[in-house]
Amino acid sequence: DGEDLFCIGCGAQIQTTDQTAPGYTPKSALEKGLASGELYCQRCFRLRHYNEIVPVGLTDDDFLRLLTQIQDANALIVYVVDIFDFNGSIIPGLHRFVGDNPVLLVGNKEDLLPQSLKRSKLRDWLRQRANEQGLRPVDVALLSAKTNHSVDQFLQKVDKYRGDRDVYIVGVTNVGKSTLINQIIRQNTGARDVITTSRFPGTTLDKIEIPLGDDHVLVDTPGIIHQSQMAHFLTGKDLKIVAPQKQIKPKVYQLNDQQTIFLAGVARFDYVSGPKHGFTIFVENNLPLHRTKLANADEFYDKHVGDLLTPPNSADNDLPPLTRHEFKITEKSDLVFEGLGWITVPAGTVVAGYAPAGVGVVVRKAMI
């Protein structure tokens, strides 16, 4: 059962039970690997054979150890966030571990945001959000790892700021870190040059090193799992429906107070009090939206969840119950449903956001 067996790529202990943890190997591959005398975990196998990095999850303790390593390194830290899910991208306490190391902030998934949104404004906005976390990035790069947009410019920035240092790429899972690393490998090196043998001392973590041309390397670190992301509450199929795939076309709803909008069956917005106003919704273009009177909303949900309001796909689903969060809005803000999107709300209103218990609902300064 994989006990006392180790991946010859990364050194992680082989296990066959948890696909998201280090050392995972499907049972069938384990037998083949043993027979051939070349036993790789699934992650290293894919890297070797398909030039592809598979994300791996970390426990909080592992992650703390990883951050401590970064603290001791002399490195440029590339901090990758998902601009569509900034709150879900935050690495708690990162600022305490960066020390004197410069941080390059990377806003990924630029392709999802409307073209009309000025990129310089977006960079400023990202910088402000980083400052709120106690980070002072030397620069902010916007890119799309998926479409390869601005990846070259990002690599130029890396060269500019790293000087005589290694580069550590950090990010929580789902921000697109693996997609970005795969782009870099495809463009700049071959899989052959990538080193997977080193690991974080004292842990089972593998790190992946990509040579940068001089004696220095780019290090891919495993991503911490951010439990409040919507991604952890939905099945793969439902996640495809709620997670934006293409550039978002914002939708404006003119609402009177005491009206409700359902975002499929996974979230709900109540306009509690304030004057008639336009509310702009930024979610996956095909996510079904339904307007009702607030007074009827509970009943409407109970009746229609799983049919009119999908996902989820049935009334008896595993989704935690929707939980209410009320906010008094004093400046133009975004009411964010983590991982799902946001609604821009005007000053002088009271609103409530609902999401499955455990998924964050927060208010931030409006992006647009």
Region binding ligand GDP by CB under 6 A among candidate stretches 15-23, 37-45, 88-96, 107-115: 107-115
> DSSP string spanning 219-287?
EEPPEEP-TTSGGGTS-HHHHHHHS--S----EEEEE-TTEEEEETTTEEEEEEESSSEEEEEEE-TT-
341 near ligand GDP (CB under 6 A): no
> What residues between 37 and 56 interact with ligand GDP by CB under 6 A?
55
> DSSP string spanning 18-69?
-TTSTTB--HHHHHHHHHHT----HHHHHHHHHS-----EE-HHHHHHHHHH
Residue with tokens 């989820």: 312
108 near ligand GDP (CB under 6 A): yes
SS3 content of the chain, % helix, strand, coil (to 5): 30, 30, 40
Region binding ligand GDP by CB under 6 A among candidate stretches 5-13, 21-29, 139-147, 189-197: 139-147
Closer residue to ligand GDP in complex, CB, 172/336: 172
Residue with tokens 């960079």: 123
Binding mask 278-317 toward ligand GDP (x if CB under 6 A, else -) reads: ----------------------------------------
Convert 8-33 to b/e letters by CB count within 10 Å (16 or more is b): bbbbbebbbeeeebbbbbeeebbeeb
177 near ligand GDP (CB under 6 A): yes
229 near ligand GDP (CB under 6 A): no
66 near ligand GDP (CB under 6 A): no
- Find the binder of ligand GDP among 42, 69, 89, 179 (CB under 6 A): 179
Region binding ligand GDP by CB under 6 A among candidate stretches 14-22, 117-125, 171-179, 280-288: 171-179
226 near ligand GDP (CB under 6 A): no
User: Where do contacts with ligand GDP occur on this chain (CB under 6 A)?
Assistant: 55, 108-109, 111-112, 144-146, 171, 173-179, 223
